[in-house]
């Protein structure tokens, strides 16, 4: 397999990032360079035969639109005071199209930090275009105006090697996404993507992508940093370590009575309560169910099963609407090393508390 070569100036942009870019750097590198480096450009005018959304829509692949958009300053989510409700266009879709689109985007990494409302804004702003076989969707070195999610067809991504020869680095067969790096970092495309067959793409314009994804990720990080700063167990972490942890958290919501974790199941991650109340219960060997305790905002649970590598000792249920910040097992082990000793010391305390509840 050919080695992917990224030009020197791009390496600098990819290697160093601060604030919100620190979060987006990791997830886009994982998606863009390994799951399919899919960046490519677009100064080449309109794709021959490309058909855009119904009725009036953005001038997709228009050189004039591209140059005006890319020439603008880098987007600063901290300075942007516009609410999400006013920051993006909407494009009508049938119920079937919306169902298909929801399925296509559910594993897109750059959308993982979005909550339900933010995700709805993304879906509303996306539109579909038909791409004929042989078209260059984006070209390496060009400016980027759109993020793409593959709806149908086969597309291949190519990167030029040190001799200027194009090398195929990934293939998208009816699924996948590409184009985010140029939008995230305000940099030229780092790959070319070609249509190998007739196909279709869901597109999200540059402004909507940056104002929804970047602003939402920035807001999420601020909320999570404040949440983590008030958790005693995490006081042993440096501010930078908490920032990295905040970037690894994912939002999850549960409604009244829903089970969050179940007793005796394998542990997949840890939870921090962002909003609402969580009730813990235990079922003994006779089948009797007992309510143990409740926690609210700032409380956390699920870490002990990860520390001890045992199954869940209790079940947890949502009381009313509950919003949680979730960290998976792999990230937990990688990022919470500084707190591991404290968590191990807490194991006996929690086991004693459980025994005390059961003896009542």
Are 307 and 347 contacting, i.e. CB atoms less than 8 angstroms apart?
Answer: yes
Domain span including residue 301: 230-358
Domain at 345, CATH number: 2.60.120.10
Number of domains in the chain: 2
In a domain, 193, yes or no: yes
251 has a pLDDT exceeding 50: yes
* Measured CA angle at 49 (ends 187, 36), to 5 deg: 40
The mean per-residue pLDDT over the stretch 30-34 comes to 36
The answer on 292 and 202 residing in a single domain is no
Other beta carbons within 10 angstroms of residue 81's beta carbon come to 5
Q: What's the confidence (pLDDT) of residue 59?
A: 44
pLDDT tens track for 154-164: 999 999 988 88
In a domain, 56, yes or no: yes
Domain-ending residue, one of 151, 181, 215: 215
Q: Which tokens hold the place of 196?
A: 């190998």
The answer on 211 and 86 residing in a single domain is yes
The answer on 177 and 254 residing in a single domain is no
Instruction: List helix spans (H) across the chain.
Output: 8-15, 20-29, 63-70, 95-105, 116-125, 180-185, 206-209, 215-229, 239-248, 303-308, 329-335, 340-358
The answer on 72 and 145 residing in a single domain is yes
In a domain, 258, yes or no: yes
Pick 233 or 338 by higher pLDDT.
233
Domain-ending residue, one of 183, 215, 247: 215
The answer on 242 and 173 residing in a single domain is no
In angstroms, how far apart are the furthest CA atoms of the chain? 76
Whole-angstrom distance, CA of residue 153 vs CA of residue 30: 23
88 has a pLDDT exceeding 70: no
Would you list the DSSP string of 182-240?
A: HHHHT---SSEEEESSSEEEEEEEHHHHIIIIIHHHHHHHHHHHHHHHT-GGGGGS-HH
pLDDT tens track for 260-305: 999 999 999 999 999 999 999 999 888 889 999 999 998 999 988 8
Q: What's the confidence (pLDDT) of residue 351?
A: 65
The whole-chain average pLDDT of the chain stands at: 77
Report whether 312 belongs to an annotated binding site: yes
Whole-angstrom distance, CA of residue 272 vs CA of residue 297: 8
Specify which of 30-39, 77-86, 129-138, 303-312 reaches the highest per-range mean pLDDT.
129-138
Report whether 180 belongs to an annotated binding site: yes
The answer on 320 and 187 residing in a single domain is no
Domain-ending residue, one of 164, 187, 215: 215
- For residue 310, give Cα distances in angstroms to 120, 233, 268, 303: 38, 21, 11, 11
In a domain, 1, yes or no: no
pLDDT tens track for 183-218: 888 889 999 999 999 999 999 998 888 888 877 777
The answer on 51 and 130 residing in a single domain is yes
The answer on 136 and 12 residing in a single domain is yes
In a domain, 220, yes or no: no
The mean per-residue pLDDT over the stretch 13-40 comes to 38
Report whether 116 belongs to an annotated binding site: no
State how far Cα 44 lies from the chain centre: 30
Q: What strands lie across the sheet with 136-138, from one edge to the other?
A: 136-138, 192-195, 154-160, 166-173
Q: Which tokens hold the place of 352?
A: 């004693």
The answer on 281 and 193 residing in a single domain is no
Report whether 96 belongs to an annotated binding site: no
Other beta carbons within 10 angstroms of residue 128's beta carbon come to 21
Pick 12 or 283 by higher pLDDT.
283
The answer on 287 and 209 residing in a single domain is no
In a domain, 225, yes or no: no
29 has a pLDDT exceeding 50: no
Give me the phi and psi of 206, to 5 degrees please: -55, -50
The answer on 182 and 59 residing in a single domain is yes
In a domain, 222, yes or no: no
Helix (H, G, I), strand (E, B) or coil at 56: coil
In a domain, 284, yes or no: yes
Q: How confident is the model at residue 50 (pLDDT cuts 50, 70, 90)?
A: low
The answer on 352 and 269 residing in a single domain is yes
The region of weakest confidence among 8-17, 77-86, 134-143, 222-231 is: 8-17
Q: What's the confidence (pLDDT) of residue 166?
A: 92
Q: What's the confidence (pLDDT) of residue 211?
A: 83
Pick 97 or 260 by higher pLDDT.
260
Q: The pTM is what? A: 0.57
């Amino acid at each position: 397999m050919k080695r992917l070569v990224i030009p020197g100036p791009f390496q600098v942009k990819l290697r160093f990032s601060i604030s919100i870019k620190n979060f987006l750097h990791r997830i886009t590198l994982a998606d863009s360079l390994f799951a399919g480096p899919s960046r490519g450009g677009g100064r080449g005018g309109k794709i021959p035969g490309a058909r855009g959304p119904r009725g009036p829509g953005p001038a997709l692949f228009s050189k004039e639109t591209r140059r005006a958009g890319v020439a603008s300053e880098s987007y600063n989510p901290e300075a942007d005071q516009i609410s999400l409700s006013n920051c993006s266009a909407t494009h009508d879709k049938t119920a079937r199209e919306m169902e298909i689109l929801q399925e296509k985007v559910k594993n897109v990494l750059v959308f993982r930090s979005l909550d339900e409302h933010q995700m709805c804004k993304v879906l509303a702003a996306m539109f579909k275009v038909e791409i004929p076989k042989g078209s260059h969707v984006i070209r390496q070195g060009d400016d980027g105006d759109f993020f793409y999610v593959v709806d149908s067809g086969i597309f291949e991504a190519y990167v030029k090697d040190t001799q200027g020869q194009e090398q195929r680095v990934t293939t998208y067969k009816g699924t996948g996404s590409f184009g985010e790096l140029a939008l995230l970092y305000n940099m030229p495309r780092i790959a070319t993507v070609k249509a190998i067959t007739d196909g279709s793409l869901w597109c999200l314009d540059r402004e909507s992508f940056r104002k929804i994804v970047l602003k939402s990720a920035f807001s999420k990080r601020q909320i999570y940093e404040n949440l983590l700063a008030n958790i005693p167990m995490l006081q042993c972490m440096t501010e930078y370590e908490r920032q990295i942890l905040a970037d690894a958290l994912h939002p999850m919501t549960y409604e009244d009575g829903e089970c969050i974790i179940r007793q005796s199941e394998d542990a997949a991650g840890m939870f921090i309560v962002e909003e609402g109340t969580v009730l813990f219960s235990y079922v003994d060997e006779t089948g009797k169910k007992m309510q143990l305790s409740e926690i609210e905002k700032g409380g956390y649970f699920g870490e002990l099963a990860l520390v001890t590598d045992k199954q869940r000792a209790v079940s947890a249920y949502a009381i009313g609407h509950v919003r949680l910040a979730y960290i998976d097992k792999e990230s937990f082990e990688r990022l919470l090393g500084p707190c591991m000793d404290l968590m191990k010391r807490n194991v006996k305390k929690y086991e004693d508390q459980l025994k005390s509840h059961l003896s009542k």
